[in-house]
Structure 1
């Protein structure tokens, strides 16, 4: 189960801007133009809901969005976002506890999997994967280490800081790319930000997965 950032919701976005500027926002919206018209979308770990506004700026209506976020305080902020005329269903729970339909066109996970240890990631991934229809699109954005000396230091500082407010069961990044590869996903687009520390990537699910 992922960490709950309920206690940091009130300053989370401000802190993100202080450390990363507009990079976190830019990275998560970069591949949203790939979302097809009138798509059924599952957002997991949606935080304060910036992606809802970014989607509405691209498609003001026609989207059917299920927004899952474990933090009630984060969700309350997300509900104040302008999602246009798109339909949004908010669910406050850990994704592992949510009964998911199996016909979503798109899944969006932003800075979600960095909260899972390698041992727990496969079970959560399988659960989310079951909700994406064959041929569907998965947009994932998260941190990565590319060998630059400052990246592990910044990552450790981030984990240490947030552990002061809530239990976070990890101290290092899980191998997310490996899990996507094991499930046969094809990467169709990607981009890096903030000195390659942030990777956003679009995956396509095999027709038989």
Structure 2
């Protein structure tokens, strides 16, 4: 079980939109205006790559994008996307095995940490934290069990999702990890936070305020 979505790569977007409509999409699109021109961008777990086309609508050229995705089938789908004149490097690895000499202006982790058990989530956070420059931005989009509009139905959906993915032997996680304490402990500041789908999906933009050297 390695958080690899090869088994459902061709159906993933359809399945997610059947349940969440465009909430997962909008939560990510609304953050893209914060990507700086000519920036270095790291995307981890980008799935089918539709986000690349949305980024191209904001910046059609000048970006250097590293796209890390463990699913080979997701990588194949992503490589067919229109990336404009941006420089996109596709890396078919789990994030734990990824290494780079680059320091990034922006890190995107859309629905990444909900796959991990807490120990692995902590390690991945520290790894990505080291790749983000001071004052760089981290776009975190994930599920949230806040109390807005009731918690019971969110727990029910989340339990059903984990049950489905466990049945397919896809994800290792059993519970949702609250990543906010990791960011706050590392001196990140919240630039923007938005809730979607009755508060079940949370999109946060964090700014890295810690000196890395």
TM-score by length of 2: 0.95
CA contact (8 A) 1:192 1:200 kept: yes
CA drift at 1:51 = 1.2
Distance 1:164 1:100 in 2: 34
- The runs of at least 4 aligned residues of structure 1 exceeding 6 Å deviation read none
- Residue segments in structure 2 that go unaligned for 5+ positions in a row: none
Which aligned pairs between 1:52-201 and structure 2 lie closer than 5 A? 52-147=52-147, 148-201=151-204
CA drift at 1:26 = 0.6
Distance 2:102 2:46 in 1: 19
CA contact (8 A) 1:60 1:84 kept: yes
Distance 1:207 1:156 in 2: 36
- 1:136-183 per-position Cα deviation (integer Å, ceiling 9, x unaligned): 111110000013210000001011111222242111101211111111
CA drift at 1:119 = 2.1
CA drift at 1:112 = 0.1
Distance 1:166 1:74 in 2: 17
SS in 2 for 1:196: coil
C-alpha root-mean-square deviation of aligned residues, in Å? 1.3
Distance 2:183 2:2 in 1: 18
Residue equivalent to 1:32: 32
Distance 2:46 2:100 in 1: 16
CA drift at 1:2 = 5.4
Distance 2:192 2:170 in 1: 34
CA contact (8 A) 1:102 1:133 kept: no
CA contact (8 A) 2:187 2:210 kept: no
TM-score by length of 1: 0.96
